[in-house]
């Protein structure tokens, strides 16, 4: 049944009463007393960094994903940088990245002196289009970054086949996709490396944090060295060996995750299945209640399981008297904390200066012009979901042609 709003309802942006009594954000972490106690135990342990909680988080995440290794980092962006380093991206190298993604997916290439080669996305899922990837592979291509947009797995089978054929690395940007799966397995275990974020907006959080999963011992070793200044022997390795000497042959960074953050991440990871169930319930209600309104709902292909990080709808602007930004402002006035994910990279000043311009990627640009992200997080209650549906129906009803 579609969401309904009274025909006479006056929009809050015009002075009417908002649909929700209090502002509802598009994302919010769910933290309980188990999480608080896990962090407290880590703080009492005497090992605040490079300790057993980091090792435990890595072990737990690798087991969950089905990978041989997981290497923790201080943020998802740091983890992406580590993956670019491990793939040996350097000056002159090119890496194919979807234009519809957060900046970090391409910034990690720039950090290494490489060149992001932007590509358009599929019209349905808004994931990286394998046909676009095939057209952009060249002699300088070092890697492909496949983003699992909004938690829906990208077509890693087709993209992975291209990567193997050309001998280049496939990096899954799985920041949106812990718990997402295809018939081949879990996201994060489908390429050479999988990159996760533990930011509070994601399905599980460490406060801040990230990780890279991989089956390859050589990549795992490079990742571990990179996050600790590329020292050939860490402080704990030197301590265990009774020596003090170390060497640095490549430029690395301090991207270590603390045990405090890791303790929260481990506690949250144990609840991931419950968090995903709750998100699926919200998405299912949206799918039922918003059907029939002048918008396109998210697309999840048969045979894959979405992690439902974001719920992105696309307005049918030809059926509305307001543009996306007008609808956005009206929903915000109704106390619905809508957002937009994302402005395509080629429309940002950083990439406009690299030869890209409007019109280069029509699928991504059309999606961006019409998209709005509705609230979706595990802590949403029935009243929250119903309030969002009422607000969307109210606003789109008022702007219907």
Q: How many CA atoms lie within 13 A of 221 on its CB side?
A: 5
**Who's near 342: CB < 8 A, 6+ residues apart?**
100, 101, 102, 368
What DSSP string describes 67-88?
-SEEEEESSHHHHHHHHHHHTT
**Residue the block writes with tokens 């950083």:** 350
Q: Which of 185, 146, 186 is nearest to 162 (CA)?
A: 146
**What 3-state class would DSSP assign to 383?**
helix
Measured CA to CA, the distance from residue 207 to residue 120 in angstroms comes to: 32
Measured CA to CA, the distance from residue 370 to residue 327 in angstroms comes to: 10
User: Among all residues, which ones are annotated catalytic?
Assistant: 202
Measured CA to CA, the distance from residue 205 to residue 148 in angstroms comes to: 18
Phi-psi region for residue 207, left (φ > 0), alpha (ψ -120 to 50) or beta? left
Q: How many CA atoms lie within 13 A of 245 on its CB side?
A: 0
What count of residues does the chain have?
401
């Amino acid at each position: 049944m579609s969401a309904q709003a009274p025909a006479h309802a006056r929009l809050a942006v015009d002075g009417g009463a908002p649909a929700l009594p209090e502002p509802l954000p598009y994302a919010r972490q769910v933290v309980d007393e188990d999480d608080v106690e896990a962090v407290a135990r880590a703080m009492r342990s005497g090992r605040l960094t490079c300790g057993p909680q980091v090792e435990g988080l890595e072990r737990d995440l690798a087991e969950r994903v089905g990978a041989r290794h997981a290497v923790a980092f201080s943020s998802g962006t740091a983890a992406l940088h580590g993956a670019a380093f491990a793939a040996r991206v350097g000056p002159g190298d090119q890496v194919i990245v979807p234009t519809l993604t957060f900046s970090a997916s391409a910034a990690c290439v720039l950090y290494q002196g490489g060149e992001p080669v932007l590509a358009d996305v599929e019209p349905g899922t808004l994931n990286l289009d394998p046909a676009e990837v095939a057209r952009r592979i060249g002699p300088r291509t070092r890697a492909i970054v496949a983003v699992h947009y909004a938690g829906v797995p990208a077509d890693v089978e087709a993209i992975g086949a291209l990567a193997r054929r050309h001998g280049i690395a496939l990096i899954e940007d799985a920041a949106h996709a812990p718990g997402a799966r295809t018939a081949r397995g879990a996201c994060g275990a489908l390429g050479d490396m999988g990159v996760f974020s533990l930011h509070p907006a994601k399905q599980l959080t460490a406060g801040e944090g990230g990780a890279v999963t991989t089956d390859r011992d050589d990549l795992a070793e490079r990742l571990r060295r990179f996050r600790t200044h590329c020292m050939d022997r860490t402080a704990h390795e030197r301590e265990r060996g009774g020596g003090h000497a170390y060497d640095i042959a490549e430029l690395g960074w301090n991207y270590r995750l603390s045990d405090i953050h890791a303790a929260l991440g481990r506690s949250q990871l144990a609840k991931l299945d419950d968090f995903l169930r709750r998100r699926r319930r919200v998405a299912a209600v949206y799918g039922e209640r918003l059907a029939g309104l002048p918008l396109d709902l998210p697309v999840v292909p048969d045979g894959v399981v979405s992690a439902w990080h974001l719920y992105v709808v696309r307005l049918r602007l030809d059926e509305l008297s307001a543009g996306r930004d007008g609808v956005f402002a009206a929903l915000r006035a109704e106390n619905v904390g809508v957002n937009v994910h994302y402005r395509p990279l080629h429309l940002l000043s950083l990439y406009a200066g690299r030869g890209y311009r409007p019109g280069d990627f029509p699928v991504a640009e059309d999606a961006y012009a019409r998209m709005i992200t509705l609230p979706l997080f595990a802590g949403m209650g029935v009243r929250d979901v119903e309030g969002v549906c009422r607000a969307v129906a109210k606003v789109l009803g008022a702007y219907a042609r």
